Amino acid sequence: MIMHRIKRIILFVSCLVVLPLSAQTTLEQCRTLAREHYPAIRQYGLVEKTRELTLRGASSAYLPQIIVGGQATWQNAVASFPQQLTSMLVSTGMDIPGIRKDQYQLSVNVEQPLWDGGKSRADKAAATAQAAVDSRQLDVDFRTLEKQVDELFFGTLMLDKRIEQGRSLVELLENNLETVRSMERNGVAMSSDVDALEAELLGAEEKVKGLESARESYLLALRLFTGAEIEALVTPLMPVNHSYTQLPELRLIDARLDAIDAQKQMLNVSSMPRLSLFAQGWYGYPGLDMFRSMVSSDWTFNAIVGVRATWNISSLFTRQNSLQKLSVARSRAEVQRDVITFNNTLQNTQKQNDIRRLEEQLELDGRIAELRHNVRLSAESKYRNGVSGLNDLLKAINDENDAETTRANHELELLKNAYELNQNTL
């Protein structure tokens, strides 16, 4: 026992996979633990981090752009004086070798955007919209995860009820077996009745063991989903009507529509002109003073400042086609929303019908179980008085157990449908 505990402590410290939990676990606890344990939960933080970095990059659009460079070139022709002017200058004793064909330059270019056509604002809107899409997609994935957890949770509760009814049957058969054995000892019951009742008891015990094994499999799956050592579950109360939040699938569609609008805005600003200040300075040969560079090959400092306007009109040629593609994407998203709404309404209608049917069945189940109980008590009395045989008693016992099991199953099925309706309402 001590070694077993030590192993569990080591496993917790090294892996941090299985978390301690109270003996009674609720449905909401299972959902929360499953979300926290699911690896995709970390993507929420990554989505937000990506959004922040993209916004930071878009905010830097109006920062000065500085480019440092250098080059060395050789060209086959350079600017020169006309031959007559060169001859005249040479005759006066002035030597003008002209510009050399090998040229060098170390430069710094600075550009300060004044207006980017709204691109940085559109980039921020697109980053926010894309982050919303990614986050809403995770919400949809987690809703699917919660549905799986709910199936395991209610499946385990269903097995708990069947095990409870099976143990009640075992207890009832044991009590009757003691009675029949006592009757056998007194010579008023046959040994075959004892054997038959004992065989029935063994079958009931075997069935309980099978149910317990199935329950352990459900619990194992639930532990894997939640990362918690779950042992027992609390049957939830019937949910009450309240204001429901929008389905995550519909929130995802809304986020996609916002992203399409952001893409349309980016498309609009892509065809807008840009305006900026610029400054260029370089140290090299030749310089801006071409006459000096013809006379001397010394390196000089040079600078240019000005205002630059650019307009990339190539996007205008494809703009209409791109707008049509965005329009088709919007139409598809709206159709998907209509499909989700239709399917949700259909599922809710079916759930509501199932709930009404189960409520009506439960009223009958209670009456049937009461009658089966009375029949079983009467069968026990008749058998002890020798009025009826063991088969009649066993049938009455099994019928009562079946009635109680059916009622318990319908109660949990009603509860499960109510929670599904609660989770599935627009």
Of the pLDDT bands very low, low, confident and very high (cuts 50, 70, 90), residue 95 is low
E strand or H helix at 25, and its extent?
Answer: strand 24-25
Q: Which residue has the tokens 């000096």?
A: 292
Domain annotation covers residue 247: yes
Cα Rg, the chain, nearest whole Å: 42
Domain annotation covers residue 236: yes
Residue 197 to residues 37, 167, 400, Cα–Cα distance (Å): 49, 16, 16
Among the three residues 285, 310, 335, which one is the final residue of a domain in this structure?
310
E strand or H helix at 113, and its extent?
Answer: strand 102-115
What pLDDT was estimated at residue 100? 85
**Are 78 and 149 in a shared domain?**
no
**Are 28 and 51 in a shared domain?**
yes
**Per-residue model confidence as pLDDT tens digits over 111-144:** 998 888 888 888 888 889 999 999 999 999 989 8
Judge contact between 260 and 333, C-beta under 8 A: yes
What pLDDT was estimated at residue 355? 93
**Per-residue model confidence as pLDDT tens digits over 32-81:** 998 888 887 877 787 888 878 777 777 777 788 889 999 999 988 887 77
pTM, to two decimals:
0.77
What pLDDT was estimated at residue 85? 67
Domain annotation covers residue 7: no
CATH number of the CATH domain containing 302? 2.20.200
Judge contact between 382 and 357, C-beta under 8 A: no
Q: Which two tokens stand for residue 425?
A: 């309402």
**Are 298 and 418 in a shared domain?**
no
Domain annotation covers residue 4: no
β-partners of residue 110 are: 66, 279
**Are 266 and 279 in a shared domain?**
no
Domain annotation covers residue 1: no
Number of domains the chain contains: 2
CATH number of the CATH domain containing 227? 1.20.1600.10
Structural domain span for residue 78: 64-115+275-310
β-partners of residue 281 are: 108, 303
70 vs 407: CA distance, rounded Å: 87
β-partners of residue 185 are: none
**Are 388 and 336 in a shared domain?**
yes
| 93 class by beta-carbon count within 10 Å (0-12 exposed, 13-18 middle, 19+ buried) | exposed
**Are 347 and 319 in a shared domain?**
yes
Domain annotation covers residue 2: no
Q: DSSP class of residue 62?
A: G
**Are 199 and 290 in a shared domain?**
no
Domain annotation covers residue 3: no
What pLDDT was estimated at residue 342? 93
Domain annotation covers residue 108: yes
